[in-house]
């Protein structure tokens, strides 16, 4: 009997002095996303968050805090994933790296139109919690 399990992932809401860092994805689904990816065997979710943030934005993140876990089976059109979402701070200028063709800094009033996965919901939840709405 084989089991099909959801895939564990992380997403990292990276705050800078100018706003939230989003990446424009190289691979499908195309669009803007919160930096993140799959947790590799042998690493913790926190280690995966550090690695993915650096791989995709070139930023070293600090003050990492777990924000929420998202597990809707339809959150990713490719697979059933469960994402541990973190918030973190970073300084410096982000640059696109692996899996990213562009990087941008946004705030809740100028988010791009094409945000993939359930990342718009995650960002909406983040901004609501930040302002205690």
Cβ atoms of 86 and 10 within 8 Å: the answer is: yes
pLDDT of residue 133: 64
Phi-psi region of 74 (alpha: psi -120 to 50; beta: other; left: phi over 0): alpha
* Cα 31 to Cα 18: distance, rounded to the nearest angstrom: 21
Q: Please state, for a pLDDT cut of 90, what percent of the chain lies above it.
A: 92
> Looking up tokens 């696109």, which residue turns up?
96
Q: Environment class of residue 59 by beta-carbon count within 10 Å: exposed (0-12), middle (13-18) or buried (19+)?
A: buried
> Looking up tokens 């339809």, which residue turns up?
74
pTM over cut 0.85? yes
Judge whether residue 109 has pLDDT over 80.
yes
* Higher local confidence (pLDDT), 99 or 46: 46
For residues 63-73, average pLDDT: 97
The number of residues making up the chain comes to 133
Residue 129 token pair: 């919690």
Judge whether residue 91 has pLDDT over 70.
yes
Residue 17 token pair: 């002095």
Judge whether residue 93 has pLDDT over 80.
yes
**Domains of the chain from N-terminus onward:** 7-130 (3.90.79.10)
């Amino acid at each position: 009997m084989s089991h099909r399990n959801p895939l564990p992932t992380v997403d990292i809401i990276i705050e800078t002095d100018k706003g939230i860092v989003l990446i424009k994805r190289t691979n499908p689904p195309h669009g803007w996303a919160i930096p993140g990816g799959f947790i590799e065997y042998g690493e913790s979710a926190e280690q995966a968050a550090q690695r993915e943030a650096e791989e995709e934005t070139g930023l070293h993140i600090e003050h990492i805090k777990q924000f929420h876990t998202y597990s809707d089976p339809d959150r990713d059109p490719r697979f059933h994933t469960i994402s541990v979402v973190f918030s973190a701070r970073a300084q410096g200028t982000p640059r696109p790296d692996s899996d990213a063709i562009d990087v941008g800094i946004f705030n809740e009033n100028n988010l791009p139109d094409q945000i993939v996965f359930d990342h718009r919901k995650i960002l909406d939840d983040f901004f609501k919690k930040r302002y205690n709405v």
